[in-house]
Amino acid sequence: MYLPGIRAQQLPLYSQYLMNGYLLNPAIAGSDGYTSFNLTAREQWLGFADAPQTRSFSVQTRLLKRSYVIKKRSVTNRKLKPSTKGRVGLGGFIYHDRNGAVERIGFQGSYAYHIFLRNNQLSFGLSGGLFQFRIREEDITYLDEGDLVIEEGIRKVLYVPDANFGVYYLNYQYFAGLSINNLFQSYLKLGNRALEDFKQIRHYYLVGGYRFIFSQDHELEPSVLIKATERLTFQADFGIKYYFRQDYWGGLVLRTNGTFITLLGVRFNQLHVGYAFDYNLSSIRRYSWGSHELVIALKFGDSARRYRWLQRY
């Protein structure tokens, strides 16, 4: 949210965004060829009453179609061989985000189109959705009697539409993406003249990373996520992750607001589990036990064989 002289968290914050980048960029829907189900639970600033909490559940997949290509063994020997192709990705997610007396419950649906460029893939995605914006009056304490918000009245529940757009470039060893959230910058018409300019603002996410493959068992992936808003406020995450046999991983992230993040993860067949612990190095650490985020994902399909070069996590 943004009011004159006040800055606050408007969209949900994620630390395990590399496990489910689709939450930030609709172009990622179906980009890895898998059908994925992701559940994310985040508890921020434990120790504070009514601290931010986020829950989300997402589904994404790629529409694949069966076709045949001609394989030439010689001039006279041609053979039809089945192949699988697909350029369209679909996704959707629901979420519940609570921050003090403000509560948002919403859903989004996404369409992505993937273009193959030799050993690379360029994706475009668009999503639209609706969210319920609710003010929990029972959690509000007014310091001054006769507050204009009380006297003029304020709508406690709103239904607000909005949209997101994204571009994503992918290779087996590197990736880069740019997305814009809150395209419409929808107004939150709360019914009070003092809050006429209260609206969503656009958020921009620029993410990139490169995977260094030392052997079949050991890989190292530095990455960066830069976040910006229409109000020219910036924040960045600089991280590095180590993968062992694609089944275990750990990492460290430094966020420019003074937060140090530890990442851990494990894969067992189709099940992927990731955990993040955020520790803020500022004075808030005296009152908070840190932030915790858990991601559970199920990935189905033999896409690792069909799209060998694609990033799989």
Domain boundaries, the chain: 2-69+78-306
Residue 159 pLDDT exceeds 50: yes
Q: Given CATH 2.40.160.40, say whether it is the number of domain 2-69+78-306.
A: yes
For range 129-149, the mean pLDDT? 72
- Residue 155's pLDDT is what? 62
Q: What is the DSSP string of 266-288?
A: EEETTEEEEEEEEEE-SGGGGT-
Higher pLDDT, 102 or 139: 102
The pLDDT confidence band at residue 69, using thresholds 50, 70 and 90, is very low
- Residue 138's pLDDT is what? 67
Least confident of 53-57, 257-261, 274-278, 279-283: 279-283
17: left (phi over 0), alpha (psi -120 to 50) or beta: alpha
- Residue 217's pLDDT is what? 92
Least confident of 72-76, 88-92, 192-196, 241-245: 72-76
Evaluate whether 166 touches 26 at the Cβ level (below 8 Å): yes
Task: Find the distance separating the first CA and the last CA of the chain, reported in whole Å.
Answer: 32
The Cα 99–Cα 135 span in angstroms is 10
Largest CA distance in the chain: 92
Portion of the chain with pLDDT greater than 70, in percent? 77
Beta-bridge partners for 234: 228
- Residue 149's pLDDT is what? 56
Q: Which helix (H) or strand (E) holds 152?
A: helix 148-152
- Residue 212's pLDDT is what? 94
Residue 106 pLDDT exceeds 90: yes
Beta-bridge partners for 235: 227
Pseudo-torsion of CA 123, 110, 104, 277, nearest 10°? -40
